[in-house]
Amino acid sequence: MAEIRLFFAVCLLFLCSFPAFAAEVKSELTESSVRFSIQFEKGYSDVNVIKLDKSYIISFQTAEEVVYSEEFWDSPVSQAYIHSEGDRKKLIVDFATAADEPKIETAEKSVVASFSFAPSPEAPSAVGTGAYVRMITGLGFVIVVILVIYWFTRRMLSRRVLSELPGSGRLLGKVDLEIRKSLFFYELGDAVYIFGVTDMSVNLIEKVTDEAEVNRIKSGFARKGEFGSYLNFFAKGSDVKTDIEASRNIIRERLKSIKKR
């Protein structure tokens, strides 16, 4: 008799070592929906859906053990988990934003809850035809501004160098040879200095010390602001023709000396 009791006790212990029936929960997340599938070993009953603000509760009755908890990142779904109150189980799904009411599909041993929501808006691409056009336009504008500032600075610098030389001198005037190339005549003491000025440099071309040539240059600029215009200023009168020819000879000689250098 004792042996029989021992046999039944061993059988009971063996049976208790097997796990109780348990349901399994699986999730499937896409860009526009999330799907929860609950598979039961025996079955379930009394399925209900409750909405709470940004959460949904799918409750059902089952004697099976149901354990599930999952968090979702970078998704409209925040988390989902199972809460048990005896045989009453609740699948609670929390959303970051509002979601549509779930679609419930029931079978003999399964419950499927599908939620749909709007996909996360994609950030507009920063690279495109419009972006390239704006970038090229902006770059061109910056280059133009830099060139204008450079040209203005060079021009003002050349004028300032010639007009602010130390001593008691003064700028008499200039003669334009060609575009952005000019001769500046600067009086300092008893001499007239001729400077060649371009966009890139300022060079001393000649120093005129002959008294007659100095007086002729000064006389021309005194009558007319520009020495080139001074030549046209003497277009009248027979006595002036001699001065015109002399002035032209001076310029020819200076230009020859520039070429030789």
Pick the more confident residue, 169 or 220. 220
Residue 237 has pLDDT above 70, yes or no: no
If pLDDT is split at 50, 70 and 90, which confidence band does 235 have? very low
| pLDDT at residue 229 in the model | 46
Residue 148 has pLDDT above 50, yes or no: yes
Gap between the Cα atoms of 100 and 230, Å rounded: 91
- The model's pTM is 0.42
| pLDDT at residue 58 in the model | 94
Beta bridge partners of 36: 27, 113
- Average pLDDT of span 25-45: 92
What is the overall mean pLDDT for the chain? 76
Report which of 188, 222, 191, 220 is spatially closest to residue 208, judged by C-alpha positions: 191
CA atoms within 13 A on the CB side of 241: 2
Residue 210 has pLDDT above 90, yes or no: no
- Average pLDDT of span 195-201: 81
DSSP designation for 165: -
Highest mean pLDDT among 57-71, 142-156, 176-190, 209-223: 57-71
Gap between the Cα atoms of 148 and 210, Å rounded: 41
Express as a percent the part of the chain with pLDDT over 70.
67
| pLDDT at residue 1 in the model | 55
End-to-end CA distance of the chain: 137
| pLDDT at residue 128 in the model | 60
